[in-house]
Structure 1
Amino acid sequence: MIHRILIVCVGNICRSPMAEVVLRKHLGGGDEVVVESAGLAALVGNPIDPIAERVLADHGLTAQGHAARQVTEAMISQADLVLAMQRRHVGAIHAIAPQARGKTFLVGKWEGDDEVPDPYGKTVPVFEDAYRRIDRMLYAWRMHL
């Protein structure tokens, strides 16, 4: 059984915090699974991007209180499942923690290994597209957890 899921992007202020909140929603908010996020080049301590928070709020969700964290080998090792937004993130995760090869996948694994492009610095519609992709992809994951 999967008990700890780590979601990784670059800065840990847009995609991964949105995905963390969305996956918790899809899992029903129970205590049996811990969902966390971190970044490969995290803007440590920063809150979620204001546009990402606005998009979450438009869908009745929030990541208020989020503080960006730098991914570590220990975080990866402790996770039962590691989800990355893009292929290059999977490679970077494997470089940090080679033992994570069998448990690291794209968030879009069940959607043809699709990726979620980085919306950072872009417009609301780009963030909304990222949210829709994340929501759809994580709903598909829910069926496999």
Structure 2
Amino acid sequence: MNFLSGEYECKIDPKGRLVLPAKIKANLPEASGNHVVLTRGFEPCLVLYPKADWKVIYDKVAGLNEFNEEYRQFQRNFFRGNTEVELDGAGRFIVPRTMARFAELDKEAIVVGLGNRVEIWNPDKYDEFLIKDQQSFSQLAQKFLGDKPGEEPLI
């Protein structure tokens, strides 16, 4: 299992390259090598998956019935612009211009490890999507991780 975690401030160089933080790069599975898949997020960010994790998601979405209009629409939007990128020796990769425009990335980015994936955000947009109220955050933790009858608490 991957353990991609942490929050990092990163620069995007004039050639459109982003350096993946060393701690993130070190936790990519060896089977992926230097190949990862970059896709648009559901929010205005980019999502980077190790190739093996992407394959699981790809198989689920590609396996939807193409004769169902709603499935086709989802597939079309989900797969649009996905690209396999290769990390160079320094852990850099080029962010395609169309994807940079989608996520409003320019010179700076926030890179966030989320277990099996990494999100890449415009710093201002990222802040908009964070929970500011600690009580709301606590309530979500209770909802998703709290005690359920007959189960041990997760935390």
Q: When the two structures are superposed, what TM-score results if normalisation uses the length of structure 2?
A: 0.27
Q: When the two structures are superposed, what TM-score results if normalisation uses the length of structure 1?
A: 0.28
More helix by share: 1
- State the structure with bigger RCO (CA 8 A, min sep 6), 1 or 2: 2
Rg larger in 1 or in 2? Answer: 2
More strand by share: 2
